[in-house]
Structure 1
């Protein structure tokens, strides 16, 4: 018999914090997608919808639809960096739908945008891992205490997921190290 994961209490403000963080992470690589597909606004729309929710907007069908549209946009670019940038945008809008289950896989909702954005930056730089590391360091500084508080309610990020999964685990560990139980840095 498989044990059901316990529930984690998440307020609407918690979801707004996480979504704002994810939008800020994705936004920095939006130009990577737009250079490849200048006439496709789906990733920009997803990031815009994520910001709207983070700033007090509704968490409804329109937000979810922009996440799905950005995922579809990730299928069309000619380059891997553009695909990763679109996935970062999808992850930003999808962050609002973090599930309150104590499962490691939920960490992807919190950190996926940052990891996909870091991977896009690495690929633009010819797969330079130092670029991804620098990108993650900026994401650590971008995270609010509220984001880290939400993250630490969940188990550590799971294994697998290729390079993006590795970036999620690196970001997860870095954010958890900054937390001392009440305030970071």
Structure 2
């Protein structure tokens, strides 16, 4: 039937691996948020919840709550770089909720943390895009073969999304290449 989206089979282990990848990407820029918001543990809590799930924990309320809390924390950040770092942490917790739908928009669940982390690093470096490209290369090295396999089941990343969208597409192309 026209308009239907096919489902992709994802195991819990595959979701854990994708979440570990996202947490590792977000962890790199956690200090950017923490320097901006000295007493705010929400981004760290989101990354911690992502790691907990990745290491065998439940995919439940803690992940959702820390992701939402970190989204709120991002709104209170003083700098764009800190906001991007918080969004990377939120994306790490949200990676566990990758939907098994063959939609290009789902790619951001896999690659969003890496793209937001790259953007945060760029902004800290005075909007230096070579820094973002270096962060993308580091993310590519973090991706396990299982993460690349899961990504390959989804359509390529969609257009749009400003600079973060560009970084998602750059990471997507590098992992598929």
Shorter-normalised TM-score: what interval? Answer: over 0.9
Change (3 A) 1:2 1:73: farther
Q: CA deviation at 1:4?
A: 1.3
Aligned to 2:3: 3
Q: CA deviation at 1:42?
A: 0.3
Aligned to 1:45: 45
- Structure with greater helix share of residues: 2
- Report the count of equivalent residues: 177
Q: Which runs of 5+ in 1 are unaligned?
A: 178-185
Aligned to 2:95: 95
TM-score, normalised to structure 1, is 0.95
Aligned to 2:150: 150
CA distance in 2, matches of 1:38, 1:6: 44
Q: CA deviation at 1:2?
A: 4.7
CA distance in 1, matches of 2:41, 2:61: 18
CA distance in 2, matches of 1:74, 1:3: 35
TM-superposition CA deviations, 1:43-74 (whole Å, max 9, x none):
00000000000000000011111011111111
Q: CA deviation at 1:3?
A: 1.3
Aligned to 2:167: 167
TM-superposition CA deviations, 1:17-50 (whole Å, max 9, x none):
0000000000000000000001000000000000
| Runs of 4+ that moved beyond 2 A | none
Q: Secondary structure at the match of 2:26?
A: helix
Q: Secondary structure at the match of 1:74?
A: helix
1:49-88 matched pairs, under 5 angstroms:
49-88=49-88
Aligned to 2:17: 17
Q: CA deviation at 1:81?
A: 0.3
CA distance in 2, matches of 1:147, 1:136: 15
CA distance in 2, matches of 1:38, 1:85: 14
Q: CA deviation at 1:153?
A: 0.2
Aligned Cα RMSD in Å?
A: 0.7
